[in-house]
Amino acid sequence: MKKTMSGAVAFLTGILAFPAIAESTSQLDQYQLNLTKGVTDISAEVYDLHMLMFIICVVIAVAVFGVMFYSMVFHRKSKGAKPANFHESVKVEIAWTVVPFIILIFMAIPAAQTLIAMEDSSSPDVSVLVTGSQWKWHYKYMDSDVEFFSVLATQPEQIANKFEKGINYLLEVDRPLVIPTGKKVRFLVTSDDVIHSWWVPDFAVKKDANPGFINEAWTKVNEPGIYRGQCAELCGKDHGFMPVVVIAKEPAEYEAWIAEQQDIQRRAKEEEQKLLAMNMEMGELMEVGERVYLATCAACHMPNGEGLPGAFPALKGSDMALNDMQAHIDIVVNGKAGTSMQAFGKQLSLKELAAVITYERNAWGNNTGETVQAKDVNALVTGQ
């Protein structure tokens, strides 16, 4: 029985000493073993609550296992222990019903207080509509004209172990969400397809994105910085590949950023209109198309266009991609209701749409030789 004892002792000291282990084995900056303290008042409260619960649990465990191991060591038959006769006691039973109950009340009170504070999303300074879809986030600032998609930026080659992995492997996006520090930012969380969950550990915010409903959460970040999180609800194949990155900036910087974005987005729309009059070369379309395809479509239809039989159709050799151009444009722009084929019309520019459709009609042996131009797509969008 020595083994059990020493094993258990090692085990318990292990639990208690883990902050120390964390120190010694740390290789990366974020390397940690415990919950983050985060960067908001709430997240700090949550951390304290976590430590309180943890310590209570360890104390209970030590007490219970202590008695148990004592008995295992000293009440052994091999040591000549004779069994005692007692086998019930109402008093004892009541005691160990009531005492835990009281402990629970002590746990519940601070928990309830923190919870109520967390759920009060009233009177925000900034509101952002956060929409999950397979497998990216869309952010829309409710008080200004800025909206954009935020997609995983890690190179596929890193995931496939061909390139060396960067420090923020899987936790980097092309366009992070930007929010001001010191302001109450409210997140209106929803989804376009399946359930996702928007999670930033440093804010202690995790809210499910339920399609058709809007959940509210809020944060007030104390320090500027880059904060990383992930989608926390199984949402299909690439659930592991839809990170959340938030940059908190000083309010002045934030305002400047918003203004800049508004400008950029306005100019992009103007650009778009100009494009309608032009025709693009096959070569250019294919080049842009390939980039867009790999970034946006390959997750489902696979880089080789063969899809995943039974889940995502092949585009290589597909009847639609070979023959029916109108239907092809339509399904890419409007998606197909009731399937995971989403409407890309508002995600991609006219040029990108035209390019990706052209690409699909000419790649992997789909040699239709046809090009699709921005105006073709626009015709469908505007219903002409």
One residue of 55, 104, 259, 308 binding ligand HEA per CB under 6 A: 104
Residue 17 touching ligand HEA (CB under 6 A): no
Residue 252: name its binding partner from ligand HEA, ligand HEC, other proteins, none (Cβ under 5 to 8 Å by kind). none
Element (H, E) at 373: none
Helices (H), 165-297: 251-275, 282-292
One residue of 87, 277, 281, 369 binding other proteins per CB under 8 A: 87
Is the distance from CB of 134 to CB of 236 less than 8 angstroms?
A: yes
Residue 369: name its binding partner from ligand HEC, other proteins, ligand HEA, none (Cβ under 5 to 8 Å by kind). none
Q: List C-alpha distances in Å: 134 to 27, 259, 316, 350.
A: 33, 29, 22, 21
Residue 247 touching other proteins (CB under 8 A): no
Is the preceding omega at residue 96 within 30 degrees of 0, hence cis?
Answer: no
Show the tokens assigned to 65. 């296992």
- Applying CB under 6 A, the residues found at the interface with ligand HEC are 134, 296-297, 299-301, 312-313, 315, 318-321, 328, 331-332, 336, 339-341, 344, 356, 360
Binding part of the chain for other proteins, among 96-104, 258-266, 287-295, 355-363 by CB under 8 A, reads 96-104
Shortest distance in whole angstroms from residue 243 CB to other proteins? 8
One residue of 17, 64, 282, 311 binding ligand HEA per CB under 6 A: 64
Q: Are strands 147-150 and 205-209 parallel, antiparallel or unpaired?
A: unpaired
Count other Cβ atoms within 10 Å, centred on residue 305. 21
Q: Is 175 or 184 the residue whose CB approaches ligand CUA more closely?
A: 175
Q: Is 90 or 252 the residue whose CB approaches other proteins more closely?
A: 90
Q: Is 107 or 325 the residue whose CB approaches ligand HEC more closely?
A: 325
Shortest distance in whole angstroms from residue 264 CB to ligand HEC? 22
One residue of 155, 168, 265, 368 binding other proteins per CB under 8 A: 168
Residue type, 327: A
Is the distance from CB of 185 to CB of 124 less than 8 angstroms?
A: yes
Report the 3 state secondary structure along 209-221. ECECCCEEEEECE
Is the distance from CB of 350 to CB of 292 less than 8 angstroms?
A: no
Is the distance from CB of 36 to CB of 201 less than 8 angstroms?
A: yes
Residue 278 touching ligand HEA (CB under 6 A): no
**Number of residues forming the site for ligand HEA (CB under 6 A):** 5
